[in-house]
């Protein structure tokens, strides 16, 4: 495992994070959902991490979107300080509608130790799930201004959430991402894109690094394929958490329904083997 060191400054983490976006090809930024999984991903050699709002909420027994700003930032801080890797935080919609609230989320995230964060255009309301474009762009602009005022470069990701809310309109999604680019976002992200054609259309419409969400059922594009399209960053959102919980539920149902324990055949070999991946 890369050593956990107080000598790696936030500015150095950000420098390394920026370099990942500037080098040739795409990179995977996996999403741990607690300190333990952050350690495991660092041990496996990943170069950066991103938090997952849904995954962290599940660890606390809550649904996605139910955590407070303080709870979310506490989880981000725990993961950011767990390893020497740069961490980008899922800040949902910034925990409020107003642009200045989104800006405050960026300042608080930076204080928690992360070097990047995302602001999405989802409102959190089922009756009107996506902000009007003008307000959405203003929220990104305020978040960018807050990021630029920090004493180190903070990578601001702007998210267009259409596809996660049944609005599978690639043209509107592109229009939104272009507006967020004009507002100053460093990275653009439209989670929920499922076809190579839609992803290519998004990448070809902007001149900023594009993050794509993988780990969705039925979507089987590889890192090499995504890199060839021009994608720069690939995350999996709550995918790792859902995969782990899927195995947990299968094992629990086996015990409940048949009284057997065959699930152990696929488990990590031993407690001592797993413990070698953790410090202390």
| Distance from C-alpha of 122 to C-alpha of 65, rounded to nearest angstrom | 11
Residue 40 class from Cβ within 10 Å (0-12 exposed, 13-18 middle, 19+ buried)?
A: middle
Q: Can you tell me the distance from the alpha carbon of 280 to that of 275, in angstroms, rounded to the nearest whole number? A: 9
Report pLDDT for 4. Answer: 43
At residue 6, the pLDDT reads: 56
CA atoms within 13 A on the CB side of 93: 21
For residues 113-144, one letter each, b for 16 or more C-beta atoms within 10 angstroms of the residue's C-beta and e for the rest, the string is bbbbbbbbbbbeeeeebbbeeeebbbbbbbbb
The domain made up of 10-239 has a fold known as TIM Barrel (3.20.20)
Domain boundaries, the chain: 10-239
pLDDT at position 271 over 80: no
At residue 268, the pLDDT reads 84
Write down the mean pLDDT value for the chain.
95
The pLDDT value recorded for residue 276 is 73
pLDDT in tens, 165-185: 999 999 999 999 999 999 999
pTM for this model (two decimals): 0.94
Q: Where are the beta strands (DSSP E) in 140-219?
A: 155-159, 187-189, 210-213
Which class for 185: exposed (0-12), middle (13-18), buried (19 or more C-beta within 10 A)?
buried
Distance (Å, whole) CA 263 – CA 258? 12
Q: How confident is the model at residue 3 (pLDDT cuts 50, 70, 90)?
A: very low
Average the pLDDT over 20-44 and give the result.
97
Flag whether pLDDT at 132 surpasses 80: yes
DSSP string, 215-245: --TT----HHHHHHHT--EEE-TTHHHHHHH
Q: What is the pLDDT of residues 194-249, one digit of tens each?
A: 999 999 999 999 999 999 999 998 898 999 999 999 999 999 999 999 999 999 99
**pLDDT, tens digit (0-9, with 9 covering 90-100), for 96-109:** 999 999 999 999 99
């Amino acid at each position: 495992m890369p050593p956990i060191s107080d000598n790696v400054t936030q500015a150095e983490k950000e420098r390394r994070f920026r370099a990942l976006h500037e080098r040739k090809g795409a990179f995977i930024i996996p999403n741990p959902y607690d300190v333990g999984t952050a350690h495991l991903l660092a041990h496996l050699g990943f170069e950066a991490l991103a938090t997952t709002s849904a995954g962290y909420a599940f660890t606390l027994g809550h649904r996605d979107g139910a955590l407070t700003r303080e709870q979310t930032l506490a989880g981000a801080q725990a993961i950011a300080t767990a390893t020497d890797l740069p961490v980008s935080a899922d800040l949902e919609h910034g925990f409020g509608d107003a642009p200045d609230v989104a800006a405050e989320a960026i300042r608080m995230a930076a204080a928690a130790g992360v070097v990047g964060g995302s602001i999405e255009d989802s409102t959190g309301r089922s009756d009107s799930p996506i902000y009007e474009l003008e307000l959405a762009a203003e929220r990104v602009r305020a978040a960018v201004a807050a990021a630029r005022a920090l004493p180190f470069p903070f990578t601001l990701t702007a998210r267009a959430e259409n596809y996660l809310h049944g609005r599978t309109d690639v043209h509107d999604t592109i229009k939104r991402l272009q507006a967020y680019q004009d507002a100053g976002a460093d990275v653009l992200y439209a989670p929920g894109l499922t076809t190579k054609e839609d992803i290519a259309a998004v990448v070809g419409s902007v001149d900023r690094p594009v993050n794509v969400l993988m780990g969705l059922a039925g979507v089987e594009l590889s890192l090499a394929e995504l890199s060839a399209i021009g994608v720069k960053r690939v995350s999996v959102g709550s995918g790792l958490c859902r995969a782990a919980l899927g195995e947990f539920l299968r094992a629990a149902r086996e015990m409940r329904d048949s009284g057997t324990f065959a699930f152990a055949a696929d488990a990590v070999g031993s407690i001592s083997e797993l413990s070698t991946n953790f410090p202390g």
